[in-house]
A and B are shown apart, each in its own frame.
Chain A
Amino acid sequence: MEFFERFAVPHPSPAIYASMVAIGLVMIALVVGLTYFKKWGYLWREWLTTVDHKRIGIMYLISALIMLFRGGVDAIMMRAQLSAPENTLLDSQHYNEIFTTHGIVMIMFMAMPFIFALMNIVIPLQIGARDVAFPRLNALSFWLFFMGAMLFNISFVIGGSPDAGWTSYFPLAGNEFSTSVGTNYYMIALQISGIGSLMTGINMITTVLRMRAPGMTLMKMPMFTWSSFIANVIIVFAFPVLTVALAMGTMDRLFGTQFFTMENGGMDMLWANLFWVWGHPEVYILILPAFGIYSEVISTFSRRNLYGYKSMVASMVVISLMSFLVWAHHFFTMGQGALTNSIFSITTMAIAVPTGVKIFNWLLTMWKGKIEFTTPMLYAVLFIPLFTLGGVTGVMLAMSAADYQYHNTMFLVAHFHNVIIPGVVFAMLAGLTYYWPKLFGFMLNEKIGKWTAWLLSIGFLLAFMPMYITGLDGQARRMYTYSEATGFGPLNMVSFVGSGIMAIGFALIVYNIYYSTRYASRDISSDPWDARTLEWATHNPVPEYNFAVLPEVKSSEALWDAKKKGHVLFKGKYEEIHMPNNSGAPFLMSVIFFIWGFALIFSLWIPAIIATLGIFAFMTHRSFEQDHGHHISVKEIEETETKMRGAK
């Protein structure tokens, strides 16, 4: 019996039992549905084994949207609990678990895959390539991320969720204070998806450096490609730090090492430092591609070229370097001394300068432009004032002396939501709307889209502006309740209402996808937004090989100059195209990783060893495998091209 007790949830509640039933029903429905409609073969051939960057992008997109709702439900539950003083909706343990999973799910399993989705979809098209450098590795990256996310998400029905905060500081996250397997889930699920992210970083850098269309020098790359390239460089240098930190944390919990313990020389602050040496650059991994999306959107819908291209690139390079030099500002109050704090204060404030440069560049791009308020543009225009507000409060937090007042209060919570929601989430939604026709050949409904943008903005302001005030008044973050005498009640109720409005906004996105799938016109050109860059020079939806003839580029706005100055993009005739073969190995190997992770979490050593051998067996198979890909003949290309042109 003792063996099975480990798998039980430590603090069960009706909500958790309901989720168990819901998960079970969804699984049964999926299996029955796939069998009934005879879709198993389709699923395996077209999706599980695919190495096509566009399909991998779509799978990232779907995962990100699902995780957005998973994290969103956490958020609503937290705001509901705090909406009134002395509320008893959740007990402290559940509240701890929910704020922990909310943070991890939103950062690692919503924002990261959303960004990878757009990178996967857009980068090869924007640089005129046929796929990424390592298509098989790309599939493995996705499946590792996906299995990491699934592993993390089963925690709340098997064994209990992590409850030491998304930062999981030791000694709280150590065995002494976190006795359930929850924190094991944190360590191992993040490790698995982190390996996937690292491999995406390597893949994308190689792609951008070596696979650009003829004529596209580095300084002629579209801005989204530039921003993603820099974000991927940060990934390659930041994620190994997380890998090591998580490995140490895992060993502390499973093998009794002494890295972060309170005795035998262990040093809990080492975790905090390592975590944030990864964690702060991670923030810029998220925001830089978002800046790239805004640059594309603002330039397209202002009908002007991007103001200050070179300063945009330079500011991102500076941001990427400085992102590694600010990590200690996350714990000014933990006793580094005045000199260290002053240095990190100054570096943190300095990083606002290159960010400010970008804000002015966007404003000057719009200046005297013929602005067209489409949904993506609406997000971009809402982003600028809202994000600037978050940036300014960031500079307030950067002052280490003043930070003693703000530290671990709702002021901080308001600040980072204020940069992440208008910064990253709005950008991803703008990108989703902007690139939707590229993926599916029809546009999302503009009217519903604009309603969504406004609801999200108003909901965001209502939800987070009150937190600045209660935070300055001393409401601590991560506290599951407060007394009536504090007077925080009314403002927290406003926050709750705001979060409800945001929830409606997010639900509208799903409705919009449903509505547009049913009713939107399929009769769109390859360039429905009158855009400027290369990804709009091919058909919608994009054929498997992206471009029938590889383009030749003369400027950073290749398509615009082709339209306005008569540059010829596609020279030459159709030739046989070499494409990579599909493979089931990435998916199966990731399934083994899932089993490996699960076995480690529950200290099931024999399954863990077998799974490890399984992973090595796949690597051995890959080493000996000979896969030369396949060719698409000129005839097939001609047929596809004629069909695509006919559909216009």
Chain B
Amino acid sequence: MRARYGRIILRFWKNSLIREMSFRGHFIVNVTSEILWMGLLLVFIRVIFSKTSNVRGWNEEQYLFLMGTHMLVTSLFGAFFYNNCWRLAELVRSGDLDFVLLRPASAQILLSFERVDYSSLARIPIGGTLCVYALVSLEQTVTASQIGLFFVLVLSGVVIMYSLLFMFAVSSVWLIRQTSIDHLWFYAVSLARYPAEIYRQFAGGFLYFALVFVVPLLLVANLPANVMVRAFDPYLAAYFVVSCLVLLGVSSLAFRFALRWYRSASS
């Protein structure tokens, strides 16, 4: 008998929703802080573009579209995976990972989908509005295949972020304490909010190379935004989708390897 993952995940989502609804205050505070944060970023962009007409080839509308895309990606990632990845570290520390390993189903799936942070989804309509507003201002027509590719790349970006953070979290089996990695992660994700081109000039392009080809975090918003409002690089897009699949596989291998270690070391 195989576990029916669709039904399990649906139950996770339902339970998370029931849980979220019992903390109405939490939901409202989160949504409010998301809106404030976005307002702040818009002011930041306005200030930049009052001094210059473009940043490394991105004009203000294109930049807004990039920001909207970044919101979509981080919102989906934040809602579905961010908390689950950190919970893994917590479960390792407390030893409660045992209970997940007892279940007759894939531990990685159980761990990765258990909690949904619905308040994080509030950024989706905000990011979507920003994208549509930018497209209208640009007076740009987009084809159905562009939109399709855009969503494929957004989802690939979410999967890449998930795979990377899941691997970080897996390292808690050896490191136990994870606070420093949380900070590292926060800065890495913040970098992806800006046009990728601005990183080419740092450290002889090393940072750009590392953030595109080693941990492809820089592309998670840039690449889908490029497809819609700027030039489209098919090779880079193909590389991105392939690296998404590869990273997903590697995260799964890393998890299994760590479990072997955890299971022979834990008491």
The reply to whether chain A is a binding partner of chain B is no
Interface residues of B (CB under 8 A from A): none
